[in-house]
Amino acid sequence: MSDQNIKKHVREFYDRVGWQSVGDMLYQNAQYEDLRPVSQEYLQRCHMRVKKHLAPKGGYLLDAGSGPVQYPEYLTYSEGYRGRVCMDISIVALKEARKRLGEHGLYVVADIARLPFKADSFDGIVSLHTIHHVPVDEKLSAYEALHRTLRPGRSMVIVNGWTNAPLMERSAWFMRLMKRLRARSMRGKKRDVQDAGMGQKVSMPESEGSLQDSSTPAGTFVQKLNANWLESTLSGRMEFEIRVWRSVSVPFLRSVIYPDWGGRFWLRVLFWFEERFPRLLGRIGQYPMVIIRKPTRNGDTEPGSSAV
C-alpha cells in the first residue's frame, strides 16, 4: 500500500469508525483501551505523566494528532496556555475536540509529517498514539516537523507503542495462566449460584471484557518500532530521552487485573515500579514516552508568547 493510500485509510477509519460516538463522551476507539473502573486510577496517573514534562504555561500548545481530546487529563495539558492547536487528519476528530475546548482551541486538518506551521511556533507539543499510524519512511519527517515547530528552550512529549515490547513478550505465559485461573474461578461462582437454587439475576464483579465484540470493525494501519530504531534514527538530530508512559498493554490489563483480586493494589505497585525505573521500563515496556527538548540558541531570550 502506498503512503498516500495508508493516510487515506487512516483518515477514513477515524472519520467513519474510530471517532464515532458510542455514548456520553465515549468513542468506538475506546475498544482499544481498558476502561474498567479497576484500571481507571492507573490510567489517569499515566496520562498525567505527560504534563510533568511540558512547560506549565505559554502561548500555544500543539496537540499533533489530537483526536477528540477524549480524556479529562488530556485537557489539563494546555491549562496554562493561551490556546491549544488541535491538529488531526480527521475532520470528525476536530469537530469532537471543539465540543471540549471551544474557544480555547484552534482546529487544523493536517498531516503530522508536513506541518503547516512556522518554525519555533509552539511553547509545548504533545503527540499521543499518532506517529505509529505514519508510514515508516515518513516517521523521521514527523519527528523533524514537530521539532522544527517547537520553540527553543521548550520540550515536547510523544507517546507511542513498541512492536513486540520485551516486557509483554516475557509476560505472555503469565497472562495465559491468569486467564485460565480466572475462567476456572468464574465457572465455580456460576456453579455456586446454580447449586443454591437462585433464580434471580446475580450481580457479578465489574465487567472483565472489552467493548469489542464480533461486530466491531477492524482497525487501521499501525506500524510500531523499537527503542533501537528510535535511538539510531534520532541520535545526532535532536535531544531526546525515553521514559515510561505505561509499561503494560491492554491485553495484559484485561488478562491479569481484576477488582476482586486486588487489581487496584497491584496497579499501584506497578506504577511505583514505573516511577522508580522510568528509563528501563520505557525501553522494555509497551508504551514509551519520548521527551524531546529544543535547546535555547545563542541570543535567544526566555520563551514567552508564541504565534502560530
Confidence of residue 132 (pLDDT cuts 50, 70, 90): confident
Which pLDDT does position 256 carry in this prediction? 97
Which pLDDT does position 218 carry in this prediction? 54
Question: Tens digits of per-residue pLDDT, 44-71?
Answer: 999 999 999 999 999 999 999 999 999 9
Which pLDDT does position 186 carry in this prediction? 87
pLDDT over 90 (residue 116): yes
Q: Across residues 277-286, what is the average pLDDT?
A: 98
Domains and CATH numbers, the chain: 3-166+221-293 (3.40.50.150)
| Stated pTM of the model | 0.85
3-state secondary structure 219-286: CCCCCCECHHHHHHHHCCCCEEEEEEEECCCHHHHHHHCCHHHCHHHHHHHHHHHHHHCHHHHHHHCC
Task: Please give the residue that has the higher pLDDT: either 307 or 160.
Answer: 160
Cα–Cα distance measured from residue 197 to residue 195, given in angstroms and rounded to the nearest whole number: 5
Which pLDDT does position 35 carry in this prediction? 87
